[in-house]
Structure formats: C-alpha cells, structure tokens
Structure 1
C-alpha cells in the first residue's frame, strides 16, 4: 500500500457538511421546524395554566405542618374550585396544537414558494378543520385538533401549500385586472386553490370513512410505531450522538436533528400534558426538552465551569469570560466555536460521550419513576436546572440535573487540563518566536 495515500478529511468533512446543510435547508423540513417554532408560545402559555390547574401536590400525602405545605394545600383547593376556568386556556392552546402547527407550517412554506402566506395558512387551516372536526351527540369533538392531529396537520400544511403552488405555476387561478387593489384581489385568488384542496381532502376523508377511519386517525395509526420507538433508549442515544457528531464538523447539530425530532417530542409533550390534565400518569419519556436539558445543556455549562477553574492559557481564560453567561441560558455557540470544540480531537470523546451517558442515566431514572416526565414547555433560555423542574414539576429532576452536572464536571477535568497544557505550550512557543523576531528586527 502506498504510504502517500491518505484520506482527504477536509473533503469528507465538506461533503458531509454540505449534505447536512441541504437537509436542514430543505424547504419542507425547514418549514416543519419553523412552523412548530411559531407554535411554541401557545405551548408555553398552555403549560403555565396546566401547572396552575394541576398543582404538584397530593393532599392525601402531606399535612399543613408548615407554611410551604399550607401554601400547596391552599393552591390545590383553589385549583380544584377553579378547574374549569384554568383549563380553558390550556384546552385552547396545547389542546389545539394541530391548528397552530398547520398554520405555522403552511405560512412558512408559502413564503418559500412565493405564495401569499396568510392566504395559504387560511386555506390549510380550513382543510385541516374540515377533515379533523367530528360531531357526536350534536357536539363538536376536537380530539383530532390536539396531539392526535399533529402529524396530519404537518401533511395537510405541506400538501395544500404545494397544491396551491402547482395551480399558481399552471396559472389555474382567478386573476382580476391590475387596477383592482391587491387587498380585494387576494381573496379571489384563494378561491380555486381552496376549492381544489377542500374537494380533494374531503373526498379522501370520505373514502376513508367507509372503512371507519379518517385522515387524522389513519396518519396517527401509521405514526404510532414511530412514537413508540422514540421512547426507546436507543433512539434517544442515536439522536444525542448525531447532534454532537454534527457539531464536531461545525454543523448546527441541534438545528438539523430538531428538523426531525420537533414533531415527535411535541406530540409526546402534548400527550403527556393531556394525561396530566385528565388526572392520569404521562407515558412518554422522550418529550419536551428532555434530551437538551440532560444532554448538552448540562454537559456544556459543566465544561465552562471546568475551564473557569482549571484553565491557565490566555485563550481559554479569555473565552470562558465570554461563554459563561450565554451557557447558563443554553446558548452554547460561544463555547462550541470559541474553545473550539469544532474539529478538536482533544475534546471530541467527552463531547460526544458525556451527553449520551447523561441521557442514559436520566432515561432509567425516569423509567424507574425516580423523576417525573416532561409535560410542560418552558422557554428554551430558561437555565436548565430550573427548566428540569418546570418541565416535569418534579424537584427531583433538578436534583438529578445537579448530580449529572457534577459528574460531567469531573469527567471534563483531565481533558481540559490536557488541552490547556497544549495551548500553554503553543502560546509559549509563539511568545518565543515573537521575541526572536523582535531581536532580529533590532
């Protein structure tokens, strides 16, 4: 074998980065991700009211022996008395998540397709309501508008917008004279795409009804194995590994992975919230920010703290001052690119393995009932130790986070010291070189 032959690592890295970026920027995938981002405020508001309506306290297990327990019991009594009022915002936010998803996805895709985003969102919403809303005993049933209908909302949001684009490209639309104001012309331009979409999806839904099902129920049945698989440790480990692996190549791993994961974890989160609202136990482990809080949002702040205490090189001491505050609020780019972790063989092993160890421990702790499951969506900039509590309403989740943080900190120490010594030697050599240049120039 010719020893001069070698693997072109830069070429492999560039090709891999190009592929991942194309996947992340693919218009349908990015529209799904952006659509759910638009729905996040609704999930946060709904989660707040669900907390108010379902206090994390069991009156049969505590007595009013101190002020804190008295507060919890009073909160519980107040919540029971006002359940109907408190649950209304929850039912109209997280309970209708499919509506917000179909609006957001269609709106985002329409902008990429050079369509009117408002018209597209309205059209997709109408189609979604037509195929999802059912009647029972004269009452409207909204079950398909929540967690059950999330994936049908994705499909309808994408397909109705693409159909509208196809009709526009083929000039199949009502065009009024240019003298007509755009505000007046826009509703007429919507008529044919809306009519085609409604007729198409109603026809499909009608055929499915002959078999006793509907579009939302059929999609939910097809997707159910994926949701079940998402609860496995292997699936969680795979996505944890993939995100860190992509980051090592300088690709925004969380963004790429979230393009696929967001519908899954949001569906699981909504399902867990619905169980809590019904007085039942949630079932999905892989929900909300589980993988983030116990993964990168634990590992990277521990890394920054280790740098703060043990680093001696000018580079790392300067970097940690810039990265400390952002990392507390889950903004990790300064540390990822500043240390750097990207393409750094000295840190790649702990960078990939630590979050995998973390989520494994958190998975088994959740499975054993030691900590609660995520059912609340907190803002992503919430410090992770607080987010662990807010997401589960279980103080033990924050304790687990703290224990994992200490573990991560200890694992990082030898790697940080080794990398710091390399930088110190490099800085020393640079100083000697600069001094030599100064002497020669004199």
Structure 2
C-alpha cells in the first residue's frame, strides 16, 4: 500500500492512498483460507470446499470487508507514525469511481489535525478569588423571607373589602346550563386571591368582596380543560363569602424553625448561614473560574482547526437564536449565519477547550463512572416519571455522554490548575459578589 501526501497547509492534511489489486486479492484469499475449515456446502464435506468455489460464493462480500479493513489499517498506521490527531472524522472517498475487480483502489483522505498545544507553567498564573461570608444581616434577611413564605392569614376588620393576595373563605356551587355539576361545589374553601388555583377569571371577580357578600361569578372553562363535558363551557358559580383574611408573615420564633425542620430558632439560623455560604462559595467559584480562563486565554496562542471553530460558531449562533426567540421551539428556521462576534467566542472556546484537554491529559484527569452516573441522575430529574428511559437513552448515546462528561472534566482540570496557580483571596460583601456575577453574564 502506498500513502502519498497531497496537502500540507497549516493544520490541513491530505493523502492519496493506493491499495494494489494484488494486495487486496491476497487479503481476500487469506480471509477465505481462514474460514475454509469451518465452511459447509452441499456436495462437500466440512472444510473441503475448494477455495475457488468459496471465492465465487463469498468473494464479493469478503472483498468489500477487506477493502475497508485495508483502508482503516492504512489510516491507523498513518496516525501512529505521524502522531496526528484529527480534529474531526477524516473525510475518505474513492477516486476511481469506475473501479472493477482486479483494479488498484485509489482513495483520498483529508482532515484537519489537532494543533500542538504549547506547555505553560501553571505556577506563573495568578488569579484573585472573591470570598464572601454570610453576615448576621444576610441571615436575618433570609430568615424574614422564610417567614413570608410561611405566611399566615388573619381576619380583616369588619366590613373590609378583599384585596389581591388576601384569603377568602367561601362556599360555592357551580352550574352549567343551570345544572350543578360534579366537583363544582365546596364549603369553607380557603382561596388565596391571585394564586391562580381556580379557573381563569374566577379569583379576579372576588377582589373587593366583603364578609357576608353573595356573588355570582361567571367564567368560561378553557377549551383544553381536562373534563371534556365542561371544556369551553360557560359556568356560573354562586359564591358566599364567609371570611376575608389578610396575609401576615409568620412570627420569627422557635415555632417557625420547627416548621422548617430545625430544633429551634438558633439551629435554623445556623442552617441558613451554611446554605448562604455554600451559595456564596458557588458564586465565587464561577468568578474565579472565569478569571482563570481569561488568564489562560491571554497566555497562549496557536492555530485552531477551522472545522472546529465553524462548528462551535454555528452552535453558538443557534443557541443564542433560541434564547432570543423562545417562542420558536422548532428547528425549521433555516441556516443561522454566525456573526464575527460568534466566531471570536467560538475561537476562544475551542482554544481553551484544547488547552484544558491537554492539561487534563498531562495530569491524567479522569471522569469516574460514579461521577457520570451522578450527572445522568441529576439530568434525569428534569424528566419526572421518565428517569429510567432517559438513563437508558444516555447509556446508548455516545454524544450525550460526551455532553455530560465535558463539564465535569473541565471543572476537574480547573481544580488541578488552581492547586498550582497563585490564588489570592479578597473579602467581598454579598452585593459585590452579585455584581461580579452579573458582570460575567455581560461579557
């Protein structure tokens, strides 16, 4: 077999591969000879079928297999000898389309090789990490927010009208075409106005009612309502208002703490402080990671495979299109042409991706099976009731596995770099940390 270089331009490579007919024929004969002892055919004992007959019967199929194996072997040998790593699947095609048995096979192979990534001294990288502690004020604010979510209701003064957010205690009977329907009546029902827990339009008509009022509330059931006999129908509810209550925050005391599973108020404050500081650490991690990636991006420059940049730019353009057009859920919007800004971002992502991959390989960073399983389980929770199907889908889908593995690998490489880099800490408040996070979204 002959391999001749036809293109060497930057990272682009091209080769002409010639597989002589006699080599291919020898490979076919070798395969048939190996199989001969196990072949049974009418009129012959097992293992005694003549090679010529085997070739006539199975030669064409064996020929195709041999041709593919020979080309794959030539490619693998080429990559072993050159050390090239293709950025994407090499393009391989036969050039003598009028090929017939007995002719040499001529193949062209082209690809873009991954660049040689320059080594960098990780100890020379310096980044500043923000550190935020949960202050007493932060804890009190979170505690008061909890109290609001655990709100109670107390009766308004006599004669007061209900407001949005109030709770009204009502009796009601619903009728369609003058006839009461099953499930359309209740007594002493506590309804929070503005909760949208009733048919659209129902709650709004009870804003402004007073204790003792009787009111006919007219609404239309939605066309897609679950009960077919009510879907799209007009209904009239005869409502009696028995109480009007205003919302009040729960008292911040031991009883509130017990509602949230804590032993007492001090224990609840401790839990809140831990949760807040975990949130702050997560935010600080995002900031220091971005700063580290910025530092790495400034430190290295090398040629990038155009195919990877093009693919990444198209992916960015597609993703941003759907973020800006959330109502367009389909993918029939045609080709979205990447802008120059998309290409610059794509170049940064590809460059950093190749750099982090190289650093990860040098430090033998691996994503463990347990880490992958945890990632799949976390993702599966987004599909309630279909977790097992999602889990099986990912197990059988290499591309999906790579999508889940990539961020885990990246974070582990970032940890490796931070262990060696010069990391200084600066104490910041909650507001300053939030401002740093907002700045990340703006970049």
TM-score, normalising length from structure 2?
0.24
Greater strand fraction, Structure 1 or Structure 2: 2
Higher helix share: 1
RCO higher in 1 or 2 (8 Å CA, sep ≥ 6)? 2
TM-score when scaled to structure 1? 0.24
